[in-house]
Amino acid sequence: MAKFIIRRFFLLVLTMLLVSIAVFLIVESSPGNIAKNVLGAFITPEQEASFLAQQGLDKPLFQRYWFWLVGSDRVAERKCGFELERIETASGFQEWWVKGENGSLMRWNLEGEDLFVYIRKDNVTIEKRKDNERWVKAGDGSSIFWGIDRNNHAVLWVKGASSEVWNFVVGTGWIKSTGGPQSYIPLKKGFLRGDFGVSLRTGRPVEKSLFIRLRNSVVLAGIAFVVVMPFALLLGMVAGINEGSFQDRFLSIAGMIFSVIPEFATGIFLILIMAHWLELVPGASVFGEKAPWQRPDMLILPVLTLTLIELGYVLRITRASMAEVMRSAYIRTAFLKGLPFWKVIFRHAAKNALIAPITVIMLHVNWLMGGIVIVEVVFGYPGLGQYLLDSALYKDVNAIEAGTMIMVLLAVGTQLFADVLYTFLNPRIRYS
């Protein structure tokens, strides 16, 4: 058993690795341009190049993947020769600083041709002063300096006659100077160390948006699950008790119809009937920053849609399992012993008939996820699916990777859980 779990866990890690590489490659190979998506269609080529460089997107693919996976701070430390530290400010921003002498933290900024250092002492006061001594003379008469700028990049600043750069200085406009940033490394800790990176679309750390979205999705899926399970199992058993009877045929065909109609069509039907014609409940679930449970009326239609879709599916599995059990010899024996009907059903049949549905449902969690994504889009529900869709449309690779990893982890994790659960529910199964 332990061996089985370890093997599966290894497969999970392998799957996530392969998927993350595949996502990187697909996003990379696709047409379109993140800079245009974020800054608009009318950006100049210089602005585009500058944006791509600042996001580290001008680096080769394998390097970007490596930075995403294990982080770029080590490389940056080697480049600039300082020890780096990530802190969280009082207002909740993540900032990278260089560890300076006696516990102070330092960052730099280039204004014109002067390098300014920002020194943060005791995590409160920030002191700014000129710091031109840091420049290192390079061979061709220019000076260079690797440091950390104020936007969480490791930056190579170059100053000298041969390099002319247009820089934007706040309050002054575009000025020409002989110095400027030449190379950027966006600092991050990497996925393996729990840092999903910064969303290219919003500029916020992915995890700040992602986990709220994930919570919303889990709330929606959880409520739907709690609502649908008792119904579906009960109806499935009713259908399975008498295979081929009228109620069986009615229930299984109705269940099939509900489970094969695309989620968005079911959603539209429900919106039209419940919200448009009967005007019972709101037809969208838009709650901005609020948590879903603060507007329960907006949850009704999404939950109902999910319920209908899942109902058919669970019902059919339960029906098949129940029908199989009802044909078995021990049920016939129980009836022949003269046990009352309901006793046979609940004592003898239900116990065995419910093993399969419970585990099969978990195996199909990735199928149900699809339903949740669509339902979120139909109702404007701020969940993980919408986030992922928006990110995919923007080619926001960090957000896509983070969302993908969470979804794969959930899907494969539940499958593993289902397999383990199965061995407990059905002692005849042994994995070796």
Listed ranges 96-104, 108-116, 119-127, 406-414: which one lies at the site for another protein (CB under 8 A): 406-414
Contact residue for another protein among 283, 302, 357, 383 (CB under 8 A): 283
Q: Which one among 42, 246, 342, 424 touches another protein, defined by CB under 8 A?
A: 246
Residue 412 in the binding site for another protein (CB under 8 A): yes
280 scored as a contact of another protein (CB under 8 A):
no
Q: What is the dihedral of CA 50, 113, 165, 170, to 10 degrees?
A: 50
27 binds another protein (CB under 8 A): yes
d(CA 142, CA 216): 53
372 phi, psi to nearest 5 deg: -65, -40
The nearest distance, CB 261 to another protein, in angstroms, is: 4
Q: How far is the CB of 54 from another protein (least distance, A)?
A: 23
**Residue 253 in contact with another protein, rule: CB under 8 A:** yes
Task: Please return the burial class of 159, using the count of CB atoms within 10 Å of its CB with bins 0-12, 13-18 and 19+.
Answer: buried
Q: Could you say which of 4, 15, 58, 242 contacts another protein (CB under 8 A)?
A: 15
Nearer residue to another protein within complex by CB, 154 or 326: 326
Binder among 169, 370, 417, 426 for another protein (CB under 8 A): 370
Q: Rule CB under 8 A: is residue 404 a binding residue for another protein?
A: yes
Closer Cβ to another protein, 30 or 89, answer by number: 30
CA-CA distance, 298 to 193, in Å (whole number)? 37
Among positions 263, 303, 325, 359, the unique one binding another protein when judged by CB under 8 A: 263
Pick from 1, 7, 9, 32: which binds another protein (CB under 8 A)?
A: 32
Taking CB under 8 A as the binding criterion, the range among 113-121, 219-227, 285-293, 387-395 that sits at the site for another protein is 387-395
Contact between 31 and another protein per CB under 8 A? yes
Virtual torsion, Cα 120, 121, 127, 132, nearest 10 deg: -70
Is 26 among the residues that bind another protein (CB under 8 A)? yes
End-to-end CA distance of the chain: 6
Range 268-272, long-range pairs (CB < 8 A, 24+ positions): 268/378, 270/301, 270/304, 270/305, 270/308, 271/301, 271/378, 271/379
- Judge contact between 384 and 407, C-beta under 8 A: yes
Interaction of residue 279 with another protein, rule CB under 8 A: no
- Residues contacting another protein: total by CB under 8 A: 52
Tell me if 403 sits within 8 A of 20, measured CB to CB. no
Site residues for another protein, window 98-127 (CB under 8 A)?
Answer: none
Nearest to 207, CA basis, from 428, 405, 393: 405
Provide the b/e sequence for 27-54 (b: ≥16 CB within 10 Å). beeeeebbbeebeeeebeeeeeebbbbb
Among 237, 421, 250, which Cα is nearest to 345's?
237
**331/343 Cα distance (integer angstroms):** 11
Query: Segment near another protein (CB under 8 A), from 39-47, 341-349, 365-373, 422-430?
Result: 365-373
Contact residues toward another protein (CB under 8 A) are 11, 14-15, 18-19, 23, 26-27, 29-32, 246, 249, 253, 256-257, 260-266, 268-269, 271-272, 276-277, 283, 366-367, 369-370, 373-374, 377-378, 385, 388-389, 392-393, 395, 400, 404, 407-408, 411-412, 415
